[in-house]
Amino acid sequence: MNELATLDLTQLPSTQIGSDESYTELAKGGDFLKYVKLYTKGKPIDKGLIPPGHWGVPEADEEITDLGGAIDVLPLARRPKALDSSDKSAVIVSYDETTGAFQQIKAQSEVKDSGCQHGVSFLVFERSTGQFLELWLSSKSSRPEAKKIFPYLPLSQADIDRKAAAGADVEGLVPHGPLPVTLKVRLAENKRDQSWHVPVAVKCSTPIKLPTTAVVVREINKFLTIKSGGVEKVEEPTKKRAR
């Protein structure tokens, strides 16, 4: 018999130097932002990597972390995003909706199988994984749900003042930090008996603990820092994610 199996090792002294957060940072595979998406159809489902109607985080070509049919997140920041993947060797990403590149991708996204998408990209902190992730609502059926997430984003007095200056009704608005939201899944259908899954955002009453303020500020700054005039080319879209 293994001698260790007979010992009570539950009262050992501390088995690490430093905080848990420091180890989470050290264990990161690279300085890129993973993303969470709602899977409904396609190769990952055909291969059995994840069931339809589940949220998942792609880890590699053949690996997806299955988060189930509902996730709790804290929305931290938002940005516009348009992506043209019609040329897999040179994927184009635009984060500035005022540019011609963004508008061209947006127009092409209305063409079936064009490889173009656009919508609101959120930086979120997901409860079960304890990770900062990108949530991009880029399909025709998911884009309307973005506006339901907006109220859960942090709201500063400067944000309220800006809204007031633009003529918006700010009565009752008070500054607040990010608020937890649950992302569920609904099955949508059309008259041609076609079905697909769409996200549904609802209020979450259970608080989500964030890392330190310094870590949150760092991730928000990286998320909102746009390079190359708002247009980036990504040579390996499945391995490198533009921040």
Classify strands 35-39 and 131-137 as parallel, antiparallel or unpaired.
parallel
Q: Quick check: is 149 in a domain?
A: yes
Closest CA to 111 of 79, 147, 84: 84
Phi, psi of 160 (to 5 degrees): -65, -45
Q: Quick check: is 240 in a domain?
A: no
Tell me if 167 sits within 8 A of 147, measured CB to CB: no
Q: Quick check: is 198 in a domain?
A: yes
Q: How confident is the model at residue 213 (pLDDT cuts 50, 70, 90)?
A: very high
Q: Quick check: is 8 in a domain?
A: no
Task: Flag whether the pTM goes above 0.85.
Answer: no
Q: How confident is the model at residue 17 (pLDDT cuts 50, 70, 90)?
A: confident
| Bridge partners (DSSP) listed for residue 203 | 181
Q: Which pLDDT score, from 0 to 100, does residue 23 have? A: 61
pLDDT tens, residue by residue, 131-143: 999 999 999 999 9
Q: Quick check: is 18 in a domain?
A: no
Q: Which pLDDT score, from 0 to 100, does residue 108 have? A: 93
Higher-confidence position of 11 and 136: 136
Q: Taking all residues of the chain, what is their mean pLDDT, rounded to a whole number?
A: 87
Q: Which pLDDT score, from 0 to 100, does residue 9 have? A: 66
Provide the percentage of residues in the chain whose pLDDT is more than 90. Answer: 67
Question: CA 178 to CA 4: how far, in whole Å?
Answer: 46
Q: Which pLDDT score, from 0 to 100, does residue 106 have? A: 94
Q: Which domain holds residue 34?
A: 30-169+182-234
Distance of CA 62 to the CA centre of its chain: 20
Look at residue 10 and tell me whether its pLDDT is greater than 50.
yes
Tell me if 223 sits within 8 A of 92, measured CB to CB: no
Tell me if 108 sits within 8 A of 117, measured CB to CB: no
Percent helix, strand and coil across the chain, each to the nearest 5: 25, 30, 45
Between CA 54 and CA 61, with CA 59 as vertex, the angle to 5 degrees is: 95
Tell me if 199 sits within 8 A of 37, measured CB to CB: no
Q: Which pLDDT score, from 0 to 100, does residue 210 have? A: 94
Phi, psi of 103 (to 5 degrees): -65, -35
Q: For residue 79, give every residue at least 6 positions away whose Cβ sits within 8 Å of its Cβ, in sequence order, or none.
A: 95, 120, 121, 223, 224, 226
Amino acid letter for position 171? E
| Bridge partners (DSSP) listed for residue 121 | 79, 136
pLDDT tens, residue by residue, 22-58: 666 555 555 689 999 999 999 999 999 999 999 999 9
| Bridge partners (DSSP) listed for residue 231 | 94
Higher-confidence position of 237 and 21: 21
Q: Quick check: is 127 in a domain?
A: yes
Q: Quick check: is 9 in a domain?
A: no
Rg (CA), the chain: 21
Question: CA 12 to CA 24: how far, in whole Å?
Answer: 22
Look at residue 173 and tell me whether its pLDDT is greater than 70.
yes
pLDDT tens, residue by residue, 214-231: 999 999 999 998 765 556
Q: Quick check: is 25 in a domain?
A: no
Task: Give the residue ranges of DSSP H helices in the chain.
Answer: 20-26, 43-46, 100-108, 146-149, 157-165, 213-224
pLDDT tens, residue by residue, 146-161: 999 999 999 999 999 9
Question: CA 43 to CA 49: how far, in whole Å?
Answer: 9
Q: What is the mean pLDDT of residues 109-134?
A: 95
Three-state secondary-structure class, residue 199: strand
Look at residue 62 and tell me whether its pLDDT is greater than 80.
yes
The number of domains in the chain is: 1
